[in-house]
A and B are shown apart, each in its own frame.
Chain A
Amino acid sequence: MISSHRAGVAGVAGLAVLSILAAACGSGGSGSSGSALTNSAPGITPTTITIGSHQPLTGIAAPGYSEIAPAANAYFQYLNAHGGIYGRKIVYKYLNDQYNPALTSTVVHQLVLQDNVYAIFNGLGTPTHLAVAPFLNSDHVPDVFVASGCECWNSTASLPDTFGWQLDYVREGKILGAYIEQHFKNKKIGFFFQGDEFGQDGVKGLSYEIPKKQIVAEKSYDPTNINIGPQVDALKAAGAQVVVSFTVPAFTALLKLNMLGLKYSPQLVVSDVGSDPITLAGLLAAFAKNKTAGFGNSLTQGIVTDGYLPSLGQASNSWIALFTKIHDQYIPKLPLDGNVLYGMSVGYAFVQAMFKAGKNPTRADLVNAINAGLPQGASVAPYAYSSSDHNGITGAYIATISNGALVPNTGVWVTDDSATGAITAYTAAQPAAPASGIPSP
């Protein structure tokens, strides 16, 4: 509301003056550095920070993705139990938009105009979030760590308060493409990809790296149509020896099943989005009851993929240990899979940003904190954040699925979104998780 903006600013100014006076008159009894916690912004009270999100909790996009927000919330609950953010607890209000942009608009307007959240965190989906990003930016609501790999969140001119987080699809395509170009020279390559910006951006990245003469087929699929037989037939007819697939897990599994039906076994290279070994094994579990050779975990054996978070198979990794502990305590009913890892990792990033924003942050403080750069969290590669770049994670390692877990077989590669940008090795070791599990302020 326009009038309440003005009232809000006046209120903040008044409270700021009061708090300076209070500090000057001697610190209070708390052990902190003395300034009192105030209502420094909408959604911030002395005891809570309220943030909102829109998520597909039911409907066609729900499988898998509906776990992300509960996982982030589990990390926030862990944080709240261990001191919160300067003593404030995070209240995470995520509402169901059923992957329908009209509902996304409804719930986000409710969160901002009625529930007065401080920021929108990890809004999921590209067409859905595009419906609300302009509104959020026009009202200067921080729109942080969108759950989508679209390059569109990096638009500092038109969407200055919006930030991506995950490795975007073009970068991912380039990293996978470079690996294929090196390790599958002279082989025929086929693409199988979802017919939306996820698949198309991935193919764009792949095409930057893989020589044109090697690409023999490019087949897209529509996620509402499970009959992908024609596309797999076409890939086989073209003789593709390596199939690169930008698919969601259900369609990776379908691809594998169709290939079995056709007795076609090319090397599969799958995007991180669709290669979570635990999800895939779950989808293929029922087929193991048949006596045909090689199902379940064996069916995922040898799939090449990439990863920008540590592998769940590395139990000794400090991040995996931390997140496993939090999962077992707060969300034991959910499977500990890639979606849960994603949710907790992005939750950690938000907490890092909030600590950087200061003790009594305004909305602008959060945006400025991220613009100044965030230290690496659970990801294997650094963030790109700066005032001119709102992309998040910049790189990934290549891995092979073996016995149901990702086994890295290269180091980390980082790159950018451009057609000619180089793919370079990133050799710095991943920083360990803090012992307390909470980033230091």
Chain B
Amino acid sequence: MVEFLEFTLGGISAGLIYAAIALSLVLIWRGTRVLNYAQGAMAMLTSYIALLVINGTGSYWLGFAVALAAGLVIGAVVERIVVRQVTDKPPLNAVIVSIGLLIGIEGLAGVLFGGNNKSFPPAYSITGLSVGKVALGITRNDIFTAVAVLAAAGLLAVLFRYTSVGLRLRATAFNVNVARLLGVRVGRMLTLGWALAGLLGALAGMLVSPSTFLSPNSMDAIFVLGFTAAVIGGLESPVGAVAGGLILGVVLSYAGGYLGSEVVNLFGLAALLLVLMLRPSGLFSSAPTRRV
């Protein structure tokens, strides 16, 4: 029973990291209808920048803030300079460009910082908490991670639903020309979407890098799971992203704990296929209708 509890808690904290990546992918998809393969790599780059600041100034929170700001800037710059060239081209072109970005950013990190694993500080202590004699299996850092991701998801949901900026973002994704006719500054919305996604990715990077140790390829596997979580939840909804992340995290944790590490990915695939066979557009999406 204790084991089950530990697996569940572990799965939840891992799942929230996947949710953070999923949130940034949802944001880019909802705002610009592009799948950004370089999301993990951009998060890795902002984490390196944060590490420079942290090691240079000794302050974790300064590094944290710089990482989020760098995420905003890098996202906006990438959209403006690279992605803008392919927005009116076939959608797969943008995917290939993002793959090129992924490879290029990982290579750049290798050139600037070398290929070795770097130790990355967590926000809070990683010694286990306990109630009396019973070790709970979670740490202060886990709690901070949960709070940060849930806050980000909540803010994103509020942004989309209740603010005019969110409305404009959604309009741009839904029908660009109509949005333009209605006075939406489409270019700015695209840039804003990528900038915010960059910020979310940077947050994910800060939260997960202590466990992965920072190296040019450290975000690759997390990105795949974050993408899967986004698909499970439905790419249209921040709530879906969090739900998808939690489901995936918990399923993988039980699979790894009770059955062994070799079947973890297979269970991830099974969970994904199960959800998609029941709801082909993910859990929290509404079926699209079309006038024929």
A binds B: yes
Identify the A interface with B (CB < 8 A).
Answer: 57-60, 62-64, 66-67, 195, 219-222, 224-231, 233-234, 237, 249-250, 253-254, 257, 260-264, 282-287, 289-292
Most buried by B among A220, A224, A229, A254: A229
A226 CA to B264 CA, complexed, in Å? 12
CA distance A254 to B209 in the complex (A): 12
Report how far A233 CA is from B6 CA in the complex, Å.
7
B257 and A230 form a contact (CB under 8 A):
yes
Interface footprint category on B: 35 or more
16 extra interchain contacts, Cβ-Cβ under 8 A, other than A261-B127, A283-B117? A57-B115, A62-B215, A63-B115, A63-B215, A67-B116, A195-B261, A220-B261, A222-B261, A229-B14, A231-B256, A231-B257, A260-B126, A260-B128, A261-B142, A291-B125, A292-B125
Given contacts A63-B115, A64-B116, A224-B221, contact A230 B126 (CB under 8 A): no
Contact of A58 among B2, B118, B121, B216 (CB under 8 A): B216
- Find out whether the CB atom of B261 lies under 8 angstroms from the CB atom of A221: yes
- Determine how close the nearest CB of chain A comes to the CB of B63; give it in whole angstroms: 11
Q: Which residues of B contact A (CB under 8 A)?
A: 2-3, 6-7, 10, 14, 60, 107, 110, 115-122, 124-128, 130, 135, 137-139, 142, 210-213, 215-217, 220-222, 252-254, 256-258, 260-262, 264-265
Q: Name the residue on B nearest A220 (C-beta).
A: B261
CA distance A66 to B116 in the complex (A): 8
- The answer to whether A285 touches B119 (Cβ under 8 A) is yes
Complex alpha-carbon distance, A66 and B115, angstroms: 8
> How far apart are B141's CB and chain A's nearest CB, in angstroms?
9
Residue in A66, A225, A263, A284 whose beta carbon sits within 8 Å of that of B135 in the complex: A263
Interface centre among B2, B6, B121, B265 (most CB of A within 10 A): B6
A336 to chain B, nearest CB (A): 14
Cross-chain contact B119 with A284 (CB below 8 angstroms): yes
A227 to B253, CA, bound (A): 8
CB-CB under 8 A from A264, the residues of chain B are 135
Bound-state CA distance A64–B213 (Å) is 13
Q: How far is the CB of B121 from chain A (nearest CB, A)?
A: 4
Given contacts A63-B115, A260-B128, contact A225 B121 (CB under 8 A): no
Q: Are B7 and A230 in contact (CB under 8 A)?
A: yes
- Bound together, the chains give a CA A291 to CA B125 distance in angstroms of 8
State A74–B137 Cα separation when bound (angstroms): 46
